[in-house]
Amino acid sequence: MLQISGVSKRFEGGRGASVAALERVDLAVARGEIVSLVGTSGCGKSTLLRIVGGLDPPTTGRVRVAGRAVAGPSPDVGFIFQEPRLMPWLSVRQNAEFGLASLPREERALRSEAALTRVGLAAFADALPHHLSGGMAQRAAIARALVTRPSVLLLDEPFSALDAFTRISLQDHLLDIWREDRKTMLFVTHDIEEALVLSDRILVMRGRPGSVYREYAIDLPRPRRRADPFLIGLKESILDDLDLAAAALMAAGL
Amino acid sequence: MTVERHPSETPSGVRRFAAPFRYLRLVAPLPIGRDAEWAVPEEAPDERLRAPRRRVLPRHAAVGFIIPLLILIAWEAACRSGLAPRNLLPAPSAVLGALYDLARRGELLGHIGITLFRVFFGFLLGTIVGTVLGALTGYSSWWRRLLDPMLQALQNVPSIAWVPLFILWLGIFEASKVTLIAVGVFFPVYLNLMSGIQQVDRKLVEVGRIYGYSGFALVWRVLLPATLPFYVTGLRGGLGLGWMFVLAAEFMGASEGLGYLLIDGEQTGRPQIIIASILLFALLGKLSDLALVSVARHYTGWQDSFRAASEKQADVADQRRLETL
């Protein structure tokens, strides 16, 4: 479904200086799979997601979604950011319909209604974003991403700004949505528990420039118990990977 | 090199003294004994540190009339008692009388009408030019580098300085006056729109890009609504300056208008006419701003502004007060 091959990214600074953010990343995600990218900040995981979403071009390599090369944002790929990024002047419904401008009015209304019901915001369709709580705003953003019916969802630390309870309920919610039509999801997070509960595979990224350091497959049925001993064991292991990464960076004087 | 510190290794001496130290000046005596080191004394909150309580005052729009009315009453009283010399400061009733006189002779509406006409078209012209150039310089840094330094320099030219030039170029009739007003209106509109566009949240623009908006659609769906609050600020500032510039315009060889009325009052030694036209300027300026704001509110009501928030808070506070009663 999603193929990332040999993707590197360099950011050009002023005066010819450039910073390498990603170094030859290869990754394939199967249809319906949930893959998490975890890593310390600065390892390039968000950069990778932006490249997959067509927001930034890669310096080298290529990304294919459903066999087609990514050249820019596409309605087939939904993007959910860390912040809800709702248009403050539009109602929740209008925000949900933001990506549907090319459709006739009735179709827009039907789709946004369905998406808002799906995220439990139907009763707030006419509210303005600043009346919503953080969790509700993020659900509205999810509805906005769902209405275009993408086959791939990219999520960039979508729940990291929320409190622990809201975060857990939205993780469950995301799984409910996934269960309905098995969207392919690529999920950036720095919350290891979140990655453990949600993903089929976890990729640990580290280094500067970042690359995939290790891959964990989790073959447990969902929903998963957060206190599952197997998951706790994995968490230890991933934390070790990341600590090593931090130590290696310090040793290199970065 | 890594510096690792176990929690128990924190320099406890610092913490042990640091925390109680905060209470040293506020609470005496200090709790004594080893176990008491961390005990936070049960202190009564210092009343002086509390947020000031909101006074229960009416929040109705009519509140704005209280002070002007008091001034009018005091002013009338001062004139009637002979405290103020009548030839310098006519009583409010005399000012009203002068206005009534003008109205009865059918002159008043003419003066107001021509002034409104000039402000309206000056405002329109200044707004159009300010919008075009502001959008251009806000959107493109190349245009900003090209135009902005010159425009910012021209902004410093006092309004009166343009008068002789415009008369020379455009004659003494309406064209020169409307142009002068347009110059005044232009700058606030231009500056606010330019900086408004530059301040639009890049993250929202990115959302626009994700959903396939670009070019005009991006401007219409994202940039324009996000800029609107700044633009309205610019329009209001422009309108205010328009009212100032109309006076300058009407000082230069006008035979009609509120500015002319004011000069006429001065030259014929009638202070009540001067005061009447000043009051008319204040009234019309306020009314036109009100009209602008009420149109704009329809489009910018989404703002999570200080004003909206503080009013909401006041409502919550009222609610609480009611509940405690």
- For residue B294, give how far its alpha carbon lies from the nearest alpha carbon of chain A (Å): 17
Q: Do A148 and B211 touch (CB under 8 A)?
A: yes
Cβ contact A140:A95 at 8 Å: yes
Can you say how many angstroms the Cα of residue A73 is from the centroid of all Cα atoms in its chain?
Answer: 15
User: Tens digits of per-residue pLDDT, A43-86?
Assistant: 788 888 899 888 888 888 888 888 888 888 888 888 999 989 99
Give contacts of A79 with chain B, Cβ < 8 Å: 210
Cβ contact A1:A200 at 8 Å: no
Q: Tell me the two tokens of residue B308.
A: 């909206």
* Choice between B180 and A235, residue whose per-residue pLDDT is larger: B180
Q: Tell me the two tokens of residue A182.
A: 């098995």
Q: How far apart are CA B290 and CA B47, in angstroms?
A: 41
| Option in B2, B207, B212 nearest A85 (CB) | B207
Of B43, B49, B5, nearest in space to B27 by CA:
B43
| Option in A85, A101, A247 nearest B204 (CB) | A85
Q: Domains in chain A, ordered, with CATH?
A: 1-76+150-238 (3.40.50.300), 87-149 (no CATH)
Q: Order across the sheet with A211-217: list the strands.
A: A77-80, A152-156, A184-189, A34-39, A201-206, A211-217
For the ranges A11-25, A129-143, B298-312, the maximum mean pLDDT occurs at A129-143
First-to-last C-alpha distance (Å) of chain B: 63
Phi and psi at B189, nearest 5°, equal: -65, -50
Complex confidence, ipTM: 0.84
Q: How far apart are CA B150 and CA B32, in angstroms?
A: 72
Q: How many residues does chain A have?
A: 254
**Would you write out chain B's pLDDT as a tens digit for each of its 325 residues?**
444 444 444 444 344 444 444 444 444 444 444 454 555 555 666 666 666 666 566 667 778 888 989 998 998 888 888 887 877 888 888 889 988 988 898 888 999 999 999 999 999 999 999 999 998 898 888 999 999 999 989 988 888 888 888 888 988 788 989 999 999 999 999 999 999 988 888 899 989 988 888 888 888 888 888 898 899 999 999 999 999 999 888 887 778 889 899 888 888 888 889 999 999 999 999 999 999 988 888 777 777 554 544 444 444 444 444 444 3
Q: Show the 3-state SS of B153-171.
A: HHHCCCHHHHHHHHHHHHC
* CATH architecture of the domain covering B92-300: Orthogonal Bundle (1.10)
User: Tens digits of per-residue pLDDT, A204-218?
Assistant: 888 777 778 888 888
Q: Which long-range contacts (CB under 8 A, 24 or more apart) does B66-71 make?
A: none
For residue B73, give the 3-state DSSP assignment. Answer: helix
Of A66, A67, A48, A45, nearest in space to A57 by CA:
A48
Query: Of A4-13, A53-62, A221-230, B33-42, which gets the smallest average pLDDT?
Result: B33-42
Q: Tell me the two tokens of residue B39.
A: 């005990």
Q: Which residue has the tokens 């549907």?
A: A100
* pLDDT score, position B325: 39
Q: Do A101 and B222 touch (CB under 8 A)?
A: no
- Going from the C-alpha of B24 to that of each of B13, B20, B103, B308, the distances in angstroms are 17, 7, 73, 41
Give contacts of B302 with chain A, Cβ < 8 Å: 88-90, 128-130
**Does A128 score more than 60 pLDDT?**
yes
* pLDDT score, position B59: 67
| Option in B206, B211, B303 nearest A98 (CB) | B211
Side chain identity at residue B33, one-letter code: G
Exposed/middle/buried for residue B43 (C-beta within 10 Å: 0-12, 13-18, 19+): exposed
Percent of chain A exceeding pLDDT 90 equals 7
Give contacts of B204 with chain A, Cβ < 8 Å: 85, 87
Q: Tell me the two tokens of residue B164.
A: 């002789």
Give contacts of A247 with chain B, Cβ < 8 Å: 2
| Option in B210, B212, B302 nearest A79 (CB) | B210
Name the DSSP class of A80.
E
* pLDDT score, position B4: 47
The dihedral of CA A87, A89, A92, A95: what is its sign? negative
Q: Tell me the two tokens of residue B222.
A: 């994202």
Q: Give the largest CA-CA distance in chain B.
A: 93
Q: Do B1 and A250 touch (CB under 8 A)?
A: yes
Spans of all domains in chain B = 92-300
**Does A145 score more than 60 pLDDT?**
yes
